[in-house]
Structure 1
Amino acid sequence: MTIATYISDLLYRYECVILPGFGAFLSQKVSAEFNEKEQNFYPPKKQLSFNSQLKKNDGLLANYIAEVENLGYKQAVYKIEEYVQQLQLQIEKDKNFTVKNIGTFQITEEGKLQFEPLIASNFLADAFGLSSIPAISVSREVLKKQVEDIEEKAPILFTPEKRSASSYLKYAAIGILALGLTGFTGLKLYSNQVTNHNIAEQQAAESQLQQKIQQATFIIDNPLPEITFTVTNQSGDYHIVAGAFRVEENAHQKVKDLRADGHKARYIGENKYGLHQVVYSSYQTRREAINALYAVQKTNAGSWLLIQEL
């Protein structure tokens, strides 16, 4: 498998995949839309963009390659570096480069690197298998002819031309409406009487209840002691991973070591590759998590950002 394939796999699960030494692929969910120019309905998708400023290795891509190909972490990093060198050489030579299933890079006349995502690729897992649907125009004259054919067999008239020809139905409808209004007026008078009666009864009942409450005396002989709860905020879908271990005992030992160093570390369980993951901490927003990741990588270059709902 190529590096492009690994990046494509990760984009289905993560919103940010960094290609160390080159830049980051970012994804943002876009709702379903109608393209008026093309007259097509498009399903929801993840819209890709590229940020050349995010080049520092966050460990996500390297760890994934190491797990899939059963390599060491340093070997995976070296493989990424070779791919980036090839990519940069081809861009300098041909002024463009296509990352399979992701998009195309090219150098503009101003000498800037420009990224164009592939329209056919959709990294939103919820929309897997959905494709665009053309909008079909509806001819009102055709529908009108179909309705007129139905009116020839049915007693109800839909088209305005035929309704005007049967004026006697209008007078019959007026008579029915008059009878209905008379019955409605009587019903409304009766309803108002019932409502007034209910309000009066409710006020009387509330008055009696207030008198009984005022006369009552409540005595608590043994009140319960006060209880103070301390809540530790470990919520959030953005996690700074400290390491992933084959042996669960090693993961729990890592948690103890990190907590001894002052981190709010915790064990988050086993991933689908059978590795037991330990995180420094969890955050509510991507910005908080990225800031924390940069600080942690000063002492642990192998730490990386995990986006997952636990």
Structure 2
Amino acid sequence: EITVTPEEKEEKTKRPYLQIAAAAAFLIATGFIADWKYGDEMETKNSLTDNKAEEFVIQEASFDLGVMPALTLELETEEIAPAGKYHIIAGAFRYEENAEKKMALLKEASYKPSRLGQNKYGLHQVAYFSTNDAQEALQKLREIRANDNEGAWLLVKNMK
């Protein structure tokens, strides 16, 4: 007959705190090494940047431009609405460019046109002539209607 007896195994003492301590020591050492290498890299980059900044300062140049020629400016002046109460209107235009074209045409035709600005409808008004004398305004209006523009009309408004 065979007798079976269980073998007794040697019990190992479990010490998990030693494993945790070893892992922590490894991580801390790795962190210190990484920080040291990062510090070296940053120091190298900073020294390169400082060198480039010094080179930039050294490379600054100054120029002697000598005497500059006189500068002549031509300014566009806008026609100022004449002070007057009676205005013979050549046209009222939605677009300012069209008002400018009309002004040029009237100047070519020997008139002394003026821009009266925008009316309450947003139209740019151009006048053939402006005066404070009602009789003179009516006389000019008749002449303009007879010779140039049947659609001309009289605006009675103080422009100041």
Higher strand share: 1
Rg larger in structure: 2
Structure with higher RCO (Cα < 8 A, 6+ apart): 2
**TM-score range for the pair, normalised by the shorter chain length:** 0.3 to 0.5
